[in-house]
Each structure stands twice: as structure tokens, then as C-alpha cells.
């Protein structure tokens, strides 16, 4: 296949030369690289957390901003009660575990916390609780890395997903997060990185929006400000 590629590229070399000369003449004076900075999204007044909340709510996600883990556990408990969630899967994120344990402990006997749920068990769970390694304020996006946490199925299979994230993990732009992800080189990149922006959706039927197709129908993000979390889980 490489031979085919090189052969065809070679065939166009004379055409390429003509077009390159043409473009160089046309672009004289234009500085394309200067535009790189300007292609950032419009400037937002306010903190990254506020921006995140606005962006997430615009795509039908729920966002609570709390101080400290106890308040986070309260927020989670409210979600559990509101949804009548019985079986709650939690990922291996230490932060998520602490908060879920606290929340479930005070939620009454109805609900049950499941660690290390396998795929089959997850299909029977009502709620999945995970952490998140990054947030992206400009779009209300969560970024989860497989090296840091087993997130793939807990954030996907149950019909509702709660993510707890520290405020300091929220960055302004996707570009920042992508650069951070790539900064350690190919070897340091997590084998699966998942970006989540709001609940699952489709408009395949007459372009009518339907929330909750194959992924969760509800996404809740609890942002913990202040002294929350000890080891960035």
C-alpha cells in the first residue's frame, strides 16, 4: 500500500509545485500562524467552574457545586433518593468511593453499593458513580482516563451517571486538556480516554431530540471546591 501511495504522490508532484507557487504568491503577507491564538473560543467572564456549569446545563446535564466531601455526599444522596436508585455501582476512584460510601450509608436500607461491578452486574444497576480526571469548562465536558480509574462501563451502562470532580481539575479549554494528555508521550497516554458531554442523545427520528439512548439518560456532575480530596482520585 505504501508503494501505491508514493507512486500516486509522485505523479502529482509537478501539479503540486505549480499550486505551491500559486499559494505562496497569494499568501504573501498573510500570516496563518498568527491566527492560531485567535481561534480560541470567545472569552468568558467568571470562573472555570461557573462556565462549566453553564455549558453542562445547556446540554441537559445537572451540575452541583459544593464545598467539601460531606456536602458532595449530601448531593449524591439527594440524587439517589430522587431517582429511587437501589443498586449503585461505584468505580475504583478513591474520591468517588469515599463520597459514595458516605452517601449510601445515610440513604436508608433500600440502596446498595457495588464495588468492582462486572459488566453483567452493571446492567442491573440504576446508577454509576465515578470520578473524573479533568473537566473542560468551555463545553461542560468530563475527561476520564483509564489509567487513573476504571470508568468505561460504570459511566455508561447504568441509566444514570454521577461524576464527582475537584474544582481544580476543571480547565478552560479542550485544547489545554489534549495538550496535557499528550504531554507525556505515547507511552504515558491512557489506553482509553473518554470525553463525556451531557447525557446520551439522538435525533435520528425526524430530528426530534430524545435523551437517553444507549448511554445514561441522566448525567450529574458534583464539583467539589475547597478542601476536597486528598490524592486527586
Which parts of this chain interact with other proteins (CB under 8 A)? 1-2, 4-6, 8-9, 11-12, 15-16, 19, 32, 35-36, 38-42, 55, 59, 119-120, 123, 138-139, 141, 146-147, 150, 152-153, 156-157, 173-175, 178-179, 181-182, 186, 189-208, 210, 212-216
Closer residue to other proteins, CB minimum distance, 72 or 221: 221
Closer residue to other proteins, CB minimum distance, 138 or 166: 138
Min dist CB 89 to other proteins, Å, is 12
CB 69 within 8 A of CB 209: no
Min dist CB 67 to other proteins, Å, is 29
Distance CA 10, CA 5 (A): 9
| Half-sphere exposure in the Cβ direction for 10 (13 Å, CA) | 6
- Tallying the residues shown for the chain, one arrives at 233
| 27: phi then psi, degrees, rounded to nearest 5 | -85, 0
Distance CA 167, CA 95 (A): 13
Closer residue to other proteins, CB minimum distance, 93 or 200: 200
Closer residue to other proteins, CB minimum distance, 1 or 109: 1
Cα 203-204-207 angle, rounded to 5 deg: 50
Amino acid at each position: 500500500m505504501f508503494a501505491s501511495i508514493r507512486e500516486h504522490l509522485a505523479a502529482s508532484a509537478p501539479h503540486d509545485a505549480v499550486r505551491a507557487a500559486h499559494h505562496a504568491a497569494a499568501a504573501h503577507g498573510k500570516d496563518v500562524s498568527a491566527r492560531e491564538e485567535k481561534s480560541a473560543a470567545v472569552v468568558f467572564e467568571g470562573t472555570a467552574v461557573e462556565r462549566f456549569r453553564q455549558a453542562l446545563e445547556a446540554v441537559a446535564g445537572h451540575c452541583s457545586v459544593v464545598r467539601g466531601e460531606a456536602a458532595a455526599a449530601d448531593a449524591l444522596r439527594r440524587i439517589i433518593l430522587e431517582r429511587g436508585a437501589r443498586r449503585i455501582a461505584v468505580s475504583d476512584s478513591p474520591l468517588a468511593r469515599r463520597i459514595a460510601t458516605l452517601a449510601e450509608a445515610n440513604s436508608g436500607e433500600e440502596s446498595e453499593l457495588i464495588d468492582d461491578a462486572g459488566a453483567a452486574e452493571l446492567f442491573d444497576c440504576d446508577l454509576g458513580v465515578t470520578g473524573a480526571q479533568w473537566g473542560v469548562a468551555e463545553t461542560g465536558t468530563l475527561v476520564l482516563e483509564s489509567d487513573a480509574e476504571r470508568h468505561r462501563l460504570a459511566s455508561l451502562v447504568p441509566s444514570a451517571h454521577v461524576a464527582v470532580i475537584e474544582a481544580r481539575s476543571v480547565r478552560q479549554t479542550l485544547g489545554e486538556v489534549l495538550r496535557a494528555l499528550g504531554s507525556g508521550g505515547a507511552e504515558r497516554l491512557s489506553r482509553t480516554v473518554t470525553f463525556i458531554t451531557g447525557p446520551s442523545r439522538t435525533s435520528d427520528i425526524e430530528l426530534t431530540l430524545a435523551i437517553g439512548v444507549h448511554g445514561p439518560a441522566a448525567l450529574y456532575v458534583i464539583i467539589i471546591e475547597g478542601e476536597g480530596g486528598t490524592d486527586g482520585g
